[in-house]
Amino acid sequence: MIHVFRFLKKRPSKKRTTKESRNMTASTCDAQTPSTSEITTKGSEDSSIRHRTDSNGRRFRDDVAYVLPVDDTEMDRVHQQHWMLKVLFDGNFKAPVESALEEGMQVLDSGCGPATWTLELANTYPKSTFHGTDISSNFPKTIKPANCNFYVHNITERSEFQGNYFGFIHQRLLVAGLLVDDWEKVLQEHWRTLAPGGWIELMELPVAKTVNIGPKLAALFNIFVEMCKAKGLHWQITNHLEGMLERLGFVNIKVQEVELPINHESTVSKLAWEDMLDLYKAIKPVIVKSMPELADDERYLEYLEACGEECNKNKMFGYFYRIWGQKPPTA
Ligand SMILES: C[S@@+](CC[C@H](N)C(=O)[O-])C[C@H]1O[C@@H](n2cnc3c(N)ncnc32)[C@H](O)[C@@H]1O
């Protein structure tokens, strides 16, 4: 298992040429599924999308709420995070959809990022068709399974997917991208496009929930939380998802919260620390605004290293949360 882990750890990093970037559009390659133009074309990555590069050289979207970078380095982090979460939760989903996936159904991965989850499931369940959406086209454009389609789409807007279409909707880690008012809209849209009897599964991070956090890492956590609050993000969304799903009419709702050791001795805890390290490297300019004494790169890395040692010594834990529920067959 560890061997597989390490092997899969880094996504081959592909630098895009200007020509490839210009040609990026929503992509589809499966004749059984609606064509791109029938679904979501307005989000195709084009000149209306604004990016900014921060003082750290990291690339961000400048026209949406999402606060994390959308560059290749971040996609490597998200890709690696997938394998960590798969081990932590002992699988890729918990909703009871295994046999429907084997028989064949339409699946949405909302905010799919580099699409590691989407691609893995598309390979495992060849009779099902997978649709990944994201505001940035970091998903594969050409080399992908035939049962996979990807679309540039802002999930806070109505999609062009028809109603009652999907048997399963999966959405993971949008806490850094959706504002307080966005969540109801996004979930209403999922309700609309989910078929009666279909399942939704959401995984999120209870941002500030920790055990045994030391003062050095706590200082970084506080800055991250303040940034989320200042941007209007729903950083405590995990406290609200169950009520939101109930109000929409979902049934058979179940919740699972799993403790994640950070930088103890296990492989998963080492991956968790690497993930956190990459995250704090990505938002260095935000941290340095509040802690200017860390502006120097070497000083910043030393501080992060000290945070890692603190986690190890204190036996620190973070948490991940997932919730799944069903649209009633009679809805
Ligand atoms: C932390 S990544 C998680 C990616 C993927 N769900 C996973 O777990 O591997 C969050 C993703 O959400 C996307 N995102 C953020 N805001 C979005 C929005 N409003 N609409 C669509 N995608 C969005 C980002 O571009 C990024 O790829």
pLDDT tens digits for range 112-138: 999 999 999 999 999 999 999 999 999
Q: Residue 45: what pLDDT?
A: 59
* Cα separation, 321 vs 78, whole angstroms: 17
For atom 20 of ligand 1, the residue with the nearest CA is 154
Residue pair 65/178 in contact by the 8 Å Cβ criterion: yes
Q: Residue 47: what pLDDT?
A: 62
**Residue 18 predicted with pLDDT over 70:** no
Q: Choose the residue to mutate in 42, 134, 157 for probing ligand 1, maximizing ligand atoms within 8 Å of C-beta.
A: 134
- Share the mean pLDDT of the chain: 88
Q: Choose the residue to mutate in 92, 135, 137 for probing ligand 1, maximizing ligand atoms within 8 Å of C-beta.
A: 135
Judged by average pLDDT, the poorest of 16-30, 187-201, 222-236 is 16-30
Q: Which atom of ligand 1 is nearest to the CA of 75?
A: 27
Residues in Cβ contact with 265 at an 8 Å cutoff, skipping those fewer than 6 apart: none
Secondary structure (DSSP) of 97-117: -HHHHHH--EEEEET-TT-HH
* Cα separation, 220 vs 291, whole angstroms: 9
For atom 12 of ligand 1, the residue with the nearest CA is 111
For atom 27 of ligand 1, the residue with the nearest CA is 113
H/E element, 258:
strand 251-261
Band of residue 46 on the pLDDT scale cut at 50, 70, 90: low
Of residues 4 and 68, the one with the higher pLDDT is 68
Residue 221, class by beta-carbon neighbours within 10 Å (0-12 exposed, 13-18 middle, 19+ buried)?
A: middle
**Region 149-168 average pLDDT:** 97
**Region 51-76 average pLDDT:** 93
Cα(177) to centroid of ligand 1, in Å? 7
pLDDT tens digits for range 195-242: 999 999 999 999 989 999 999 999 999 999 999 999 999 999 999 999
The structure tokens listed for 327 are: 């649209």
Q: Choose the residue to mutate in 88, 173, 283 for probing ligand 1, maximizing ligand atoms within 8 Å of C-beta.
A: 173
The structure tokens listed for 109 are: 């991965």
Q: Which atom of ligand 1 is nearest to the CA of 82?
A: 9
Residues in Cβ contact with 311 at an 8 Å cutoff, skipping those fewer than 6 apart: 213, 214, 217, 262, 263, 264, 273
Ligand 1 residue neighbourhood (C-beta within 6 Å): 64, 66, 70, 78, 82, 111-113, 116-117, 134-136, 154-156, 172-174, 177
**Residue 146 predicted with pLDDT over 50:** yes
Residues in Cβ contact with 303 at an 8 Å cutoff, skipping those fewer than 6 apart: 216, 294
Q: Choose the residue to mutate in 66, 79, 116, 203 for probing ligand 1, maximizing ligand atoms within 8 Å of C-beta.
A: 66
Q: Which atom of ligand 1 is nearest to the CA of 138?
A: 27
Cα(20) to centroid of ligand 1, in Å? 21
